[in-house]
A and B are shown apart, each in its own frame.
Chain A
């Protein structure tokens, strides 16, 4: 049977529920700019009705906490794309730095400093000029000076690439400590979530875990699997566990062949991390594939040119009449690797350039012609030096361009997913204003009913007399 007291009780609960809901709204507004915060909606639940004499009476409302507006599939998808975008992003930065060493020469009149293609042409051209007057000292000096320019530009480029590689190595190893602190934090959160909220969304704790996972996704490629009691396990893309059962497994680093390698539980997982994604994936791909590829091409060029030119110089006759032992122009290279960094001119006396053919008089120019012809011979991996260099810059440009396209696509995808996720999970102040307004009205209504009930109760207590209780 309904009583005025019961009505009082219902209204009190309504006021409590509205207050609690207003708390949720206030919390949403307060966290509107908090990174990783997921907007919450208050939950109202109708109380169990009372059955009195076969008649059912409503028993008011209870506020049963708040639910975070979260789509786990969407956030996981966002994390995956973030890994791809970060990986291509850090790789692109490295490649852009590398390609800046090989800026295209814009004009024919003034060769850009450090332009290896002009240097190559200039070097072989200096032998063409020497053909015209093989005993001329200034033309001989020109050969040595163009050789020095070529060697200096090639070795400078190689030195810059090596320096960039070390910088990438440091960047990569710097990521490890961030990854480790994030995995520890996630593991700890995982334990809290499992004990506090094993079968429902853990709200703020879950927000923090998602935020940490999102940060981790920027750093390395991961897979995440939801386990029982609302826990997660995280592995690297290649499958090495990082977090399992509330435990984190730390990555360690060590130096192998002069570069940093990454270990998980004693196993070397560097190759898996390189292809995995995240900033670390990009750094490692640039460090272990892109930069060594560029360096390898330069090494091959430097090795072939140095070796062939030296061999020809030692096959001719120099201005002093040395036949077959005029000496090396470039420093001799024992192997292809490191040839670019080690390219230098060892000849100091221009008279030792063997312009004349074997056994010929010093006025002969046949060896100079042969050295000039090297520029048009397939001496570098079956290509002429210029063709080789042209292909090299085209390939490097195409690689950078491809990575740029991948990065643009991945970034666009991240933006799109982020927009979708924001639409679902961000705090929309308009929604909050509207919710607050509704709750305020509801609170006002409840208060009003309470006041009316109060008046009613006074009338009942006074039994018609106005003066006693007001």
Chain B
């Protein structure tokens, strides 16, 4: 049987392949990435897109939680201060209602409660990074203003009832704000400003209508309880944000590990393959060199 006399060409082809394989393996080792083009592993490439999308979404959510936690904490501490102020107002009112105070003391109580009213209103107008936090969606509008044209004075709300939510990567909605009207101008006895304005008017003249004043003090007490309830909503949001952030961080860790095992090169395996490819190349080179060193034809033997 005749053979292909150009077999060295075929050997050189094999040598090229061995070199290409080494180049690929070296690239994997140096970059640490096993999938360097889509065609190398189409399924992993697609999976990688989805995993990275989730990882980046989680990453972005973690940053968002830091932003909203600040705002929620400001709201929480503000409401804490409001409750402290209201406690003081109730204590002053109770003192004025017991019938032992003279007119000037009662007037002084009226002034002090009026001061508390200003303080509470200023707290209700708190802003975070330039945006009012108790004005619903109208964050550029000062939410509360008090008009002294009537007695008792009237505090009005200029924000709206809009509630913002933060959506977690798995679709959970976390409430980010409580509109000011809901906290400070609740209906009936739940209105903080209503009760405070009423008390200021009750004590303004120095003469106390005890029945009215006691009723208004009770209303302020109820309103304070209502503020505390609204504060619970904020507290709940803070713990939800923290819990969601932690959960997302855990998921992110798992996803990152999955993504690494999908795309990263197995150094041990690649090194072994590289070593095999090198051995093959050396063997091929030796064979070719030997073929070339021996004279390739019978002509050399003919004299």
Contact = CB atoms under 8 A, between A and B. Distances in A.
A423 B2 contact: yes
Given A361-B160, A366-B164, A423-B3, A100 B46 contact: no
Contacts of A434: 298
A434 B60 CA distance: 79
Given A372-B167, A429-B297, A433-B297, A117 B43 contact: no
A360 interface: yes
A3 interface: no
A364 B5 CA distance: 81
B63 A129 contact: yes
A437 B140 contact: no
B167 A390 contact: no
Contacts of B148: none
Nearest to B262: A104
Contact of B166 (A120, A125, A132, A396): A132
A134 B36 CA distance: 39
A428 interface: yes
A391 B46 contact: yes
B287 interface: no
A121 B56 contact: yes
A129 B42 contact: no
A362 B139 contact: yes
Contacts of B138: 361-363
Interface residues of A, number: 72
Contacts of A106: 31-33, 35, 263-264
Contacts, number: 214
Nearest to B300: A433
Contact of A129 (B4, B39, B60, B299): B60
A385 to B, nearest CB: 9
A76 interface: no
A213 B176 CA distance: 76
B159 A386 contact: no
B25 to A, nearest CB: 16
A397 B41 contact: yes
A202 to B, nearest CB: 23
A30 to B, nearest CB: 13
Nearest to B140: A362
A128 B60 contact: yes
Interface stretch (B47-55, B88-96, B101-109): B47-55
A40 to B, nearest CB: 14
A390 B46 contact: yes
A177 interface: no
A97 to B, nearest CB: 11
A424 B10 CA distance: 16
A108 B57 contact: no
Nearest to A130: B64
Given A360-B162, A363-B137, A404-B39, A415 B167 contact: no
Contact of A131 (B52, B56, B164): B164
Interface string A369-390: 1001101000000000011011
Given A397-B41, A423-B3, A363 B140 contact: yes
A376 B56 CA distance: 13
A431 B64 CA distance: 81
Given A99-B39, A386-B53, A424-B2, A364 B137 contact: yes
B45 A394 contact: yes
Contacts of A437: 302
B136 A361 contact: yes
A393 B299 contact: no
B263 A104 contact: yes
Interface in B80-139: 129-132, 135-139
Contacts of B35: 104, 106
Contact of B49 (A96, A122, A393): A393
B37 interface: yes
B259 interface: yes
B4 A426 contact: yes
A369 B67 contact: no
Closest 9 CB pairs of A and B: A363-B139, A397-B42, A361-B137, A394-B46, A397-B38, A400-B39, A364-B137, A361-B138, A433-B298
Interface of A: 95-96, 99-100, 102-108, 111, 117-118, 120-122, 124-126, 128-129, 131-136, 356, 360-366, 369, 372-373, 375, 386-387, 389-391, 393-398, 400-401, 404, 415, 418-420, 422-424, 426-434, 436-437
Interface of B: 1-7, 10, 13, 31-33, 35-50, 52-53, 55-57, 59-61, 63-65, 67-68, 71, 129-132, 135-141, 159-160, 162, 164-167, 176, 256, 259, 263-264, 296-299, 301-302
